[in-house]
């Protein structure tokens, strides 16, 4: 609703930019949905050709991390990109080799073994080592970082060259979104300090949105569906919230004003727990929503091969297409929710309270 009201109050130039964004998205959505559904269905079919088809194993294979970047099955061809394996141990030092070395009958190479869950173990159990490999999620993170830098560095350079001129092309696509994050997320929550925290809020918004969209591309990695990634994002918000917090924030947590002492004994532990439950909710919400979307789509496609009936496809395929459309909306929605809550948590920590507010209601 806020976005709709923001659109209504825009000037004609801003509305024209919104319309250009909508036209571009409307052209991309059918292509992405049809391509994604066809390749995912083909992927499921290839795995289901075996008699012991396990839909759970197939789904986990698609949403989990791995040392290879598998894109799709096209006939008998496997589109797979081997990624570098980087291992460090005290006795051998640094070892770097391609993950394709494990593609043999035993899945072993140079004293290491790749198990069914795509984890590397030492054949000699007494040896210890550190796995610093570039996995599929890490490679996708690097890709998204490059895309973000190219996109916004080019936009920034264009603004410097064409000052006081109407933005064009990619600028007109991103400017209304950036303005919306600033005017409807940062300023209401952070007030006069909105510009100071705006770079962080824009970074997490576009980082989450880009990775959500990359995860929907056929063969894309499930980066934001990895709880280690969402935990890191939530931890950064946790650090910023507490490092920039003021005395009023800690005073309301450790000694809530206007509260009887007996109630404070119960309220203070709850407030202290809230410091950690807030970033925890950020972590779980993003992880669960993105992972659930992938699981539902793959489950709907797997039904066709579980029942081995073409009639099931009449129901499951339209539902899978609908879920693909919904996931495109969820991709930006989850970026918005994470950014909004981060801004609210930071805003509550830096807000300067008026002492007159403590007597309200007394």
The label of the residue with tokens 């063969």 reads: 219
pLDDT exceeds cutoff 70 at 18: no
Predicted pLDDT at 16: 58
Structure-derived torsion over alpha carbons of residues 305, 309, 314, 319, reported in degrees to the nearest 10? -30
pLDDT tier for residue 205 given thresholds of 50, 70 and 90: very high
Banded model confidence at residue 354, pLDDT cuts 50, 70, 90: low
Q: Where are the beta strands (DSSP E) in the chain?
A: 68-74, 77-82, 84-89, 93-98, 108-109, 112-114, 120-122, 130-131
Query: In the chain, where are the structural domains located?
Result: 2-40+137-359, 84-133
Residue 219 has pLDDT above 90, yes or no: no
Distance CA 13, CA 20 (A): 11
Query: Which of 5-19, 72-86, 323-337 reaches the highest mean pLDDT?
Result: 323-337
Q: Residue 172 is encoded by which pair of tokens?
A: 């007109």
Q: Place 361 in a pLDDT band, splitting at 50, 70 and 90.
A: very low
- Determine the pLDDT at residue 197: 95
DSSP string, 118-180: S-EEESSTT---EE----HHHHHHHHHHHHHHHHHHHHHHHHHHTTTS---THHHHHHHHHHH
| Paired strand residues for 40 | none
Closest CA to 48 of 316, 304, 321, 318: 304
Question: Would you call 12 exposed, middle or buried from its count of C-beta atoms within 10 A (0-12, 13-18, 19+)?
Answer: exposed
Q: What is the mean pLDDT of residues 315-328?
A: 85
- Whether 54 shows a pLDDT value over 90: the answer reads no
Are the beta carbons of 72 and 39 closer than 8 angstroms? yes
What pLDDT sits at residue 1? Answer: 47
Q: Does the pLDDT at position 362 exceed 50? A: no
Residue 226 has which token pair?
């990895």
- Eight-state DSSP code of residue 107: -
Tens of pLDDT, residues 98-117? 988 888 888 888 889 988 78
User: Which candidate, 344, 303, 75, 45, places its Cα nearest to that of 188?
Assistant: 344
Neighbours of 341 (CB within 10 A): 19
More confident residue, 313 or 242: 242
Range 135-154 average pLDDT: 92
The predicted structure's pLDDT at residue 39? 46
Distance between CA 333 and CA 339 in Å, rounded? 10
d(C-alpha 302, C-alpha 306), whole Å: 6
What is the H or E stretch that residue 60 is in?
Answer: helix 55-63
């Amino acid at each position: 609703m806020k976005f709709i009201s923001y659109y209504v109050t825009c000037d004609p130039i801003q509305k024209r930019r919104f319309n250009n964004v909508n036209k571009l998205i409307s052209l991309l959505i059918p292509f992405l949905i049809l391509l994604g559904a066809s390749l995912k269905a083909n992927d499921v079919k290839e795995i289901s050709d075996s008699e012991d088809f396990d839909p759970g194993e197939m789904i986990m294979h698609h949403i989990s991390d791995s040392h290879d970047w598998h894109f799709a099955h096209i006939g008998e061809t496997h589109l797979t990109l081997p990624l570098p394996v980087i291992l460090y141990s005290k006795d051998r030092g640094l070892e770097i080799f391609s993950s394709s070395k494990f593609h043999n009958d035993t899945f072993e190479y140079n004293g290491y073994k790749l198990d069914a869950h795509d984890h590397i173990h030492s054949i000699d159990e007494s040896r210890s080592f550190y796995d610093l490999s570039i996995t599929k999620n890490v490679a996708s993170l690097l890709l998204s970082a490059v895309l973000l830098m190219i996109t916004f560095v080019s936009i920034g350079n264009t603004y410097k060259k064409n000052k006081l001129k109407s933005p064009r092309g990619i600028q007109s696509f991103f400017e209304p979104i950036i303005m919306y994050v600033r005017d409807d997320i940062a300023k209401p929550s952070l007030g006069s300090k909105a510009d100071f925290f705006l770079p962080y809020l824009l970074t997490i918004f576009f980082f989450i949105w880009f990775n959500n969209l990359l995860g929907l591309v056929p063969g894309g990695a499930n980066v934001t569906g990895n709880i280690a990634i969402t935990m890191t994002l939530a931890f950064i918000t946790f650090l910023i919230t507490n490092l920039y917090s003021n005395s009023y924030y800690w005073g309301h947590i450790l000694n809530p004003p206007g509260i009887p002492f007996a109630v404070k004994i119960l309220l203070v532990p709850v407030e202290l727990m809230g410091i950690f439950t807030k970033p925890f909710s950020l972590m779980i919400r993003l992880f669960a929503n993105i992972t659930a979307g992938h699981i539902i789509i793959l489950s709907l496609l797997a039904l066709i091969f579980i029942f081995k009936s073409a009639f099931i496809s009449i129901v499951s395929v339209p539902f899978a297409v609908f879920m693909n459309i919904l996931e495109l909306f969820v991709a930006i929605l989850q970026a918005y929710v994470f950014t909004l809550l981060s801004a609210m948590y930071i805003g509550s920590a830096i807000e300067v309270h008026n002492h007159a507010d403590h007597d309200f209601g007394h």
